[in-house]
Amino acid sequence: MVKSLPLSSLVTAGVLAAASAYACDAPIKVGVLHSLSGTMAISETTLKDTMLLLIDEQNAAGGVLDCEIEAVVVDPASDWPLFAEKARELLTVHDVDVIFGNWTSVSRKSVLPVIEELNGLLFYPVQYEGEESSKNVFYTGAAPNQQAIPATDYFLEELGVEKFALLGTDYVYPRTTNNILESYLKSNGIAEEDIFVNYTPFGHSDWATIVADVVALGADGKQVGVISTINGDANIGFYKELAAAGISADDIPVVAFSVGEEELSGLDTSNLVGHLAAWNYFQSAESEANDAWVAAWKAKMGEDRVTNDPMEAHYIGFNMWVNAVTEAGTTDVDAVRTAMYGQEFPNLTGGTAVMLPNHHLAKPVLIGEITADGQFDIISQTEEVPGDAWTDFLPESAVLKSDWQTLGCGMYNTETETCIQLTSNY
Amino acid sequence: MRHSFIAQNPSVLWFLLALSLFTLGVTVLSEAAGVAVISTSFVKTLGKTLCLCLIAVAMDVVWGYCGILSLGHFAFFGLGGYAIGMWLMYARTEAIVLDALAQQPLPPTPQEVSDAIGNQIFGVVGSSEFPWIWAFADTLYLQLLMIVVIPGLLALVFGWLAFRSRVTGVYLSILTQAMTLALSLYLFQNDSGLRGNNGLSGLQNIPGYEDTSQAVISIVFLWASALALGAGYVFFAWVVSGKMGSVIKGIRDNEARVRFLGYRVESYKLFIFTITAIVSAIAGALYYPQAGIINPGEIAPIASIYLAVWVAIGGRGRLYGAVIGAAFVSLLSSWFTGGGAPAVPLGFYTIQWTDWWLVLLGLSFVAVTLFFPKGIGGLFDYLVRKP
Amino acid sequence: MIRLLFLAAALCLTLPGPSHAQSLQNLLQTHADEVLKPGRRSVGVVLDDLVSSGLPQAVPFLEAWRDREIVQRDADGRFFRSADDTLFDLETGEVLGPAESDALTQSRPNGGVRRAIGDALVQFQLSDPDITKRRAAVDAIARSMDASQLTPLRMSIEAEPDTALKATKTRLAGMLAARFGKTPEARIDAIGGLAGDLSVDVRAVLNTILATTGDVAETLPDDVNLARLLQPGIDLTEAEAYRQLVANDLAPPPIPAHAIRAALSSNIVDGFVGGLAVHTLDTDENRMTAYRALAQAGEVPPLVTAQDQAAALASHVFYQAYDEPDIRITDAARAALDAIETRVAFSQAADLALDALSLASIYFLAAIGLAITFGVMGVINMAHGEFIMMGAYTGFVVQLFVPDYTLSILIALPLAFAVTFGAGVAMERLVIRHLYHRPLETLLATFGLSIALQQLAKNIFGTQARPLTSPGWLDGALVFNDVIAISYIRIAIFVLALIFLGVILYVLKRTRLGLEVRAVTQNPGMAASMGINPDRINMLTFGLGSGIAGIAGVAIGLYAKVTSEMGADYIVQSFMTVVVGGVGNVWGTLAGASLIGFLQKGIEWLNPSNTLAAQTYMILFIILFIQFRPKGIVALKGRAAAD
């Protein structure tokens, strides 16, 4: 099986390369499945524009396989069932070769059965909770071990935090992340009573009591830190209340996993200087590629626009896909998927991202402190961390492993050495 | 009785005819028939629209005929979807889990099977316990029963409390809205045991029919939805005709007078409220396997308000009006938001309909209430009376 | 341990030689990597070297390092101070020219390192002439609470010129003495001095003294300072207790289900294991039987049964012992803490009440406009939330043009009223006027307006949340003690709510307009025949209600966020506030808002980890409440109550 693969892909490549010059009166279609209206439009519209910029740049550089790339943009309108409907439309009506899209986990879960049924290819650019592996999805955002765990390590090691408040919006990403973190913290010797967990609804605005609860945690003399998985607009009220309560990052540091440059632009950050965020990318990263990328983005969208982590994920994902297609000589999903494994592309933060057999990237983890101008000062950057689909810190998933390249299975139980299922967990 | 009821409602026959023609036409043109003029995703849209028409008919009965402006009927629709979704998820997962466990040297114990299913379903939302509300999820017929029992019971208890204390008019509307808000907030919690914000997904994969293509499944569901809509239409046409129909219309027009005439107004209202809730739940149970996913956002208060909007635009107090309203507005909505409508360049500004459709919808809604209280259905009166 | 060795090595290296012979730059070069990329745990060596070097430049260097002004020149690895794009020499402080960021790498000590630097600076700063540096030093001591700082702190108290800082220093010295005093008497004395102070840091000190460690033994040892005995099954779960036994090697570990399964799987011989056919092993009982057979054959470790576990638990004592061995000290700390805890509980109740009051005032503010349009006029305005949003966006637009926050708020409040008053009047004239006899349809028409307005706001302002910043004097919080505090912005909202209550009561009860409003509401025909123009009155009333919603929008935007969907968050809540309170009565709205605010905080207090659940139960309560009191808390009586 393993031996025959390169050979067969070579053959297909040869056949299609001969045909491609001919086939190229039809452009290669790239589906963009991001909400342009509804509640998620705030975050996802940016990603649609990112894709359009990337496709423009690639076309200017000669397209791919000598073909022009054409973007097919649809609007699933933040309506989860509509994501499935639009994905089906992209794959069957528009016949796209690849889809870049989704933001929320629930929208991804909605799309998964369709993508798997029709053997499509999806690049998902946002940090997520893991516990999933689909043959047809490449996860270019961070898995929990590429964001949450390093940030927690930073709290434990560098800030000496002994007592944790895990604050999150009540949905799957914070729930799963906090479960993983609780388990991780306990394995690091933090007692159960030193972990305070709270969930709030989307768009929550009444933070006074919760902030007071967090302050009260300090009463037993331990250094308190907050790990925030609070999502979206609710952050505004939360940070305003923090500032009003006079909590400085020196007293109670807050590290957020869902607050990036884009979210900070709705806030006056002068009172938040020193609080933290963990991502795989910050706009302030110092590299030539990043300078060029930020400049191109600002030239297209306006001087006051910022770049953020999911944009970099699309940047890496799209370029890897282009390289994989070039290597495979075809846009056929199975051939491209095979060519994707081991693809390398330079990160915007320096270093190189590698696509792993579990469909995740190896990327560095950055921790930044909020500055007064709404940017992040990068104070810690790790080596590349390989993304892990199944976390090692929950007993049920510690035994699971995803390896599509050699095992051909996304949910492989290493204890019983069996493949639990070939479809993904939705 | 049956005779007079058809005579009273000539629209029933016309409606059934149109519905059959529509269903047949779609089937012939679908991918399942090999023609593929209508794509599978559009067949699914049409099937879902039929379900929306069914709940709109129920809404028309409760509002247009009985005068109760319920802003919570989508809660029942969602509950129906959740009920069928639980079985779909359970059965699909059970098959996967049994396959996986069969590869092990020891045969699995029932506890292991249940743990594995729980872990598979709830692992993605960060827990693995099987909540008690899934008690019946392993048995199809029990769970099918749940589709009618749970929304029916909720409607019965809620209606009994509300009508008993004579909460009427606007207050009742706000109360029903509070009910659906409370339910959606409850379901948003992960602790509710229905996977919180993620909801139930992968519902388009019918256990036991994994090898059947979605093109065929979509047609089957189109037929099922059409059948349910036809049956529901006939049933409600029968309910609102005859003496019972007169009483409930009387309640709408003057509740006190009907009460003075000796009718037990509360019982009538409760009956209508509950039966429409059950029909809504059935519509939901057919809708969500076509949509593929249900989550608490589906039953947010705004959905029920839209339902009222459809009925009002279609024309209250006539069942076909509700059908027209639901089909017209929901299909038009997806056309506009789907980018189907061409942008209008004004020179200084270009109107993108994805941005402006809601403005248009909102304003046209105001216009309908102000100038055409009879809605689109009112046009039929005009046509019928003219010749 | 390793760090200690390092420290010793570093001391050996630095102490013998004459310290002035070494330059700061040389010292830094020996630790170049650590200076450039310091870590909290490893930076100690550098700090110790710097402090013990006695170099006069060390202190300014540490300050610059903490403030992230230290850079390394990539070319030769030398360190400099860079501030305002200018490069300074570390030894002499002279200007070396402009700093070119391309050729320099900045050292960015993180929060933990900055704290360590702060600690190292303490001894130099405690008596610094600059009060901000002295304050920073005191803050650093308060954060780290290190025994070594007690003496320098005490020494500096005498000469402290600032009385407030002196008090802080004295208090801090007391806290340090309670923990690190030389004699038990001194510590007990210091602990006594802490009694009655309910601030978080004092409780932190007492709790640290009272820190306990859980342990298990066959019999209770005599030499421990016992905090309390633990009863398995009551104070800790039996499973947890047994786990402690296993961890202390006092009992064999239990065999978990998956280990049994693995053991059975690996002992299958010809389709049989432990005397049972494999296909019969689909129940736990059969598996147990097979496992026992294997255990008897000596193939696997024996099972640990529930009886074994219970027996093991019964034959051991579980207890918590104080880390502090002296019982007099722990007793004194316990007594002091108990006294504080009682006061803390009262304070927490007071704080919760304040939060509830604040939440109630926000609900009241959001609902009061509705209390007029819905309560008094009976018009269901689903676009009420969008008036709130319009007010908030008015505030945002004003801040775009008027950068001074105080002035902009002063302009925004009346302007928001004017804008929404106008919008309200227009809506009344164009839509609602035609629907007075069809209340349910008003609901639908205004809903149509609501979605149109919401989308319009999205088209104009985008979906991104917009900043609405409160003036500086509303920053911060009114702090009564470390438990009771409320932010000024919430106080302002509370005051605003009170003002509105007063204004509306005055308008309705004491003015000609109010009289006419009440007349028109009760009987429009009769009012008209008395020479009142009902059209005009309806228009003004509706405008007033909408205008108030606009002002509420500015207030809500200040404390939370400004988005196009903010109105939708408040509309259902507001309707419930009005209905629960009792329609047609401003006092009712007040009662409704208070009820909902206090109730929600109460439920949150019962279940602090899930705010969403609190909201759900609150709505359920409201639904039930309306069933039993359909007219609300303050029900109108007599003719006015007729529907």
Of chain C, the percentage scoring pLDDT greater than 70 comes to: 95
Residues of chain A in contact with residue C601, where contact means CB-CB under 8 angstroms, are 209
Does C156 reside within a domain?
A: yes
Distance from CA of B102 to the nearest CA of C (A): 11
Written as one letter, the residue type at B34 is G
Distance from CA of C622 to the nearest CA of B (A): 8
From C457's Cα to the closest Cα of chain B, the distance in A is: 10
**Is the Cβ of C338 closer than 8 Å to some Cβ of chain A?**
no
> Is C448 in contact with B175 (Cβ distance < 8 A)?
no
Chain A segment 96-155 residues within 8 A of B by beta carbon are: 105-106, 109-110, 112-114, 117, 129, 131-132
Are C462 and C492 members of one domain?
Answer: yes
8 Å CB contact of A425 and B124: yes
Please report the sign of the dihedral spanned by the C-alpha atoms of residue B271, residue B272, residue B275, residue B277. negative
| CA-based nearest distance B165→chain C, Å | 6
Question: What does the pLDDT read at residue B127?
Answer: 65
Query: A329-343, C210-224, C407-421: which has the minimum mean pLDDT?
Result: C210-224
Chain C contact for B69, CB < 8 A?
yes
Whether residue C134 is contained in a domain is answered as yes
Among C264, C451, C575, whose Cβ lies nearest the Cβ of B358?
C451
Residue of C nearest to B373 (CA): C441
Residue from C455, C461, C577, C578 to probe the interface with B (highest B Cβ count within 10 Å): C455
Size of interface A-B (CB pairs under 8 A): 132
Closest CA to B96 of B185, B207, B8, B173: B207
Which of B100, B204, B339 shows the shortest C-beta gap to A421? B100
- Residue type at B353 in one-letter notation: W
Backbone angles phi, psi at C367, to 5 degrees: -95, -15
- Do C440 and C369 share a structural domain? yes
What distances in angstroms separate CA A235 from CA A230, B127, C468, C475, one per listed residue? Answer: 6, 26, 14, 18
Q: How far apart are CA B201 and CA A83, in angstroms?
A: 12
pLDDT band of C9, cuts 50, 70, 90: very low
CB contact under 8 A, B106 and C572: no
Its domain, for residue B95, covers 2-298
Residues C113, C173: one domain?
no
User: Which residues in chain B have their CB less than 8 angstroms from residue C636's CB?
Assistant: none
For B345, phi then psi, to 5°, come to -80, 130
pLDDT in tens, C511-554: 998 888 888 877 888 888 988 888 898 899 899 999 999 999 99
Instruction: Please count the structural domains in chain B.
Output: 1
In a domain, C337, yes or no: no
Mutation for A interface: C200, C455, C617, C618, most A CBs within 10 A = C200
Q: Is residue C333 part of a domain?
A: no
Q: Are C171 and C95 within one domain?
A: no
Residues in C touching B364 (Cβ below 8 Å): 448
In chain C, the number of structural domains is 4
What's C609's domain CATH number?
1.10.3470
**Contact (CB<8Å) A109/B124:** yes
The answer to whether B123 and A398 have CB atoms below 8 angstroms apart is no
C386 touches A: beta carbon within 8 Å = no
- pLDDT surpasses 80 at C280: yes
Contact C39 A160 (CB under 8 A): no
Alpha-carbon span A160 to A190, nearest angstrom: 12
* Nearest CB neighbour to B124, from listed A73, A131, A199: A131
List CB contacts (< 8 A) between B295 and chain A. 80, 106
Q: Do C560 and A237 touch (CB under 8 A)?
A: yes
- C441–B373: do the CB atoms touch at under 8 Å? yes
Question: Cα separation of A332 and A339, whole Å?
Answer: 11
- Check A221 against C108: CB less than 8 A apart: no
Contact of B346 with chain C, judged by CB distance below 8 Å, is answered with no
Picking from C484, C611, C617 by the largest number of A CB atoms within 10 A of its own CB, the best residue to mutate is C611
Q: What distance in Å separates residue A164's CA from the closest CA in chain C?
A: 14
Residue B95 contacts residue A408 (beta carbons within 8 Å): no
Minimal Cβ distance to B205: which of A113, A178, A179: A113
DSSP H or E segment with residue A370: strand A361-370
Residue B331 counted as domain residue: no
The verdict on A36 touching B (C-beta cutoff 8 Å) is yes
- Shared domain for C378 and C462, answered yes or no, is yes
pLDDT value at position C21? 53
**C617 plus C546 within the same structural domain:** yes
Q: What is the distance between the alpha carbons of residues C607 and A200, in angstroms, rounded to a whole number?
A: 12
Minimum distance, in Å, between the CA of residue C540 and any CA atom of chain A: 32
pLDDT digits (tens, 9 = 90+) for C568-578: 878 888 888 88
Domain boundary among C288, C322, C356: C322
Last residue of a domain, which of C209, C235, C270?
C209
What domains can be seen in chain A, in order of their start residue? 4-142+285-362 (3.40.50.2300), 148-256 (3.40.50.2300)
Host domain of residue C112: 2-118
Residue in chain B lying closest to C583 (CA) = B171
Question: If you average pLDDT over residues C40-67, what whole number do you get?
Answer: 87
- pLDDT of res. C636: 62
A:352-381 residues touching chain C, CB 8 A cutoff: 367, 369, 377-380
Best A129, A399, A419, A420 member to test B by mutation, with max B CBs in 10 Å, is A420
C448 at B interface, C-beta within 8 A: yes
Report, as ranges of residue numbers, the positions in chain B whose pLDDT lies below 70: 1-4, 8, 124-128, 338-340, 385-387
- Provide the strand spans (E) within chain B: 200-201, 293-294, 344-345, 350-351
DSSP A185-220: HHHTT--GGGEEEEEE-TT----HHHHHHHHHGGGG
| CA–CA dist B7, B12 (Å, integer) | 9
Residue C204 CA to residue C192 CA, distance in Å, equals: 15
pLDDT of residue A30: 95
Closest Cα to residue A423, out of A414, A411, A415?
Answer: A411
Name which of C287, C456, C572 is nearest B178 (Cβ-Cβ). Answer: C572
Distance of CA C52 to the CA centre of its chain: 40
Predicted structure pTM score: 0.87
B38 in a structural domain:
yes
pLDDT 10s per residue in chain A (426 long)? 333 434 444 444 434 443 444 357 789 999 999 988 777 877 888 999 999 999 999 999 888 988 899 999 888 888 888 899 899 999 998 899 999 999 988 899 999 999 999 999 999 999 998 888 999 999 999 999 999 999 999 999 888 899 999 999 888 888 889 989 999 999 998 988 899 998 888 888 888 889 988 988 888 888 899 999 998 778 888 888 888 888 888 889 999 998 888 888 777 788 788 899 999 999 999 889 999 999 999 999 888 889 999 999 999 999 999 999 999 999 999 999 999 999 999 999 988 999 999 999 999 999 999 998 889 999 888 889 999 999 998 888 888 899 999 988 988 988 888 888 888 877
Instruction: Please tell me if residue C40 touches chain A, with a CB cutoff of 8 Å.
Output: yes
Residue C511 lies in a domain: yes
Q: CA of B170, closest CA in chain C: separation in Å?
A: 7
Backbone angles phi, psi at A367, to 5 degrees: -120, 130
Q: Is residue C329 part of a domain?
A: no
Alpha helices in A188-308 (DSSP H): 208-216, 234-244, 261-264, 288-301
Query: Which residues in chain A have Cβ-Cβ distances shorter than 8 Å to C69?
Result: none
CA distance linking residue B75 with residue C334, whole number of Å? 54
Q: C316 and C453: one domain?
A: no
Which chain A residues are closer than 8 Å to B294 by Cβ?
Answer: 81
Report the distance separating Cα A208 and Cα A17, nearest Å.
63
Q: Are C295 and C223 in contact (CB under 8 A)?
A: no
- Asked if C440 lies within 8 A of B173 by C-beta distance, the reply is yes
Q: How confident is the model at residue C108 (pLDDT cuts 50, 70, 90)?
A: confident
Structural domain ending residue among the three candidates C192, C209, C226: C209
- Please state the φ and ψ torsions of residue B300, each to the nearest 5 degrees: -60, 155
Bridge partners (DSSP) listed for residue A360: A139
Tell me which of C579, C619, C625 to substitute to probe the interface with B (most B C-beta atoms closer than 10 Å). Answer: C619
Q: Are C296 and C433 in the same domain?
A: no
Residue A205 to residue C560, Cβ atoms within 8 A: yes
Q: Can you say whether the dihedral through the CA atoms of B318, B319, B321, B325 is positive or negative?
A: positive
C509 and C410 part of one domain:
yes
Give pLDDT, residue B338. Answer: 67
CB atoms within 10 A of CB A307: 26
Chain centroid offset of residue C504 CA: 35
Distance set, CA C407 to CA A194, A243, C401 (Å): 45, 22, 11
**B385 domain-assigned:** no
Contacts of B291 in chain A (CB under 8 A): 81, 84-85
The verdict on residue C159 lying in a domain is: yes
Contact C435 B370 (CB under 8 A): yes
* Contacts B–C by Cβ distance under 8 A: 146
Chain segment C325-366, per-residue pLDDT in tens: 888 999 999 999 998 888 889 998 999 999 999 999 999 988
